[in-house]
Amino acid sequence: MLPKLLDFKLYYMKSSYKKIIENALFRLYKPLCIRIEKYRAYKLWKDGIRQCDELNEKLKVRVYLFWDASHSCWAPLTYEPNKLHYPSIRELLRLGKMKGTNIPANVQQAADKCYYYTGSKNGAKNISENPALKLTKLKNWIAYYLLNVSVPMQKCRSYLLQQHR
């Protein structure tokens, strides 16, 4: 009887120490993970801005930056069909390739729902002229990235859910 009781106590002590060590390591890992993933989101956003600016140089029309969740990449789009046949929101809607419930119905909605937009030759303003709006778009992108795109953050959330069960 005594050896079984000692074995149980040793097992219980080992598992409790293991949990304590895991929790301590997670408390160190989570803030570091958040900082790294925010930096990755920022770099990815900068890459999308670069793509928009390059497309704006070619087309001289306003370009909106959307995230394509099915392909996990940026989708710089114009609203109206253009001369060089780059993807436009109206063309994709007409062809039935843009699906979902959050589709912009006009130019103002496209500007509200995108993560960045450029100016145009017709005088439409660039988002860079309004730093507060640019900052809110960046914050929206980082929040979306941390919630839906980042695999390490998904693992952190699953670990937290496991702990509270």
**Residue 7: its pLDDT value, please?**
64
* Overall domain count for the chain: 1
Q: Is 146 inside a domain boundary? A: yes
Q: Is 133 inside a domain boundary? A: yes
| Per-residue model confidence as pLDDT tens digits over 11-47 | 666 777 878 888 888 888 899 999 999 999 999 999 9
**Residue 87: its pLDDT value, please?**
85
Q: Is 31 inside a domain boundary? A: no
Show the DSSP H helices in 60-130 as ranges.
89-95, 107-113
Name the stretches of the chain with pLDDT < 70: 1-13, 164-165
User: For the packed helices 151-163 and 2-59, what is the interaxial angle rounded to 10 degrees?
Assistant: 150
* Residue whose tokens read 């069960």: 165
Q: Is 88 inside a domain boundary? A: yes
Q: Is 29 inside a domain boundary? A: no
Full residue range of the structural domain in which residue 132 is found: 48-157
Q: Which of 126, 145, 154, 160 is nearest to 38 (CA)?
A: 145
**Residue 99: its pLDDT value, please?**
78
Q: Is 38 inside a domain boundary? A: no
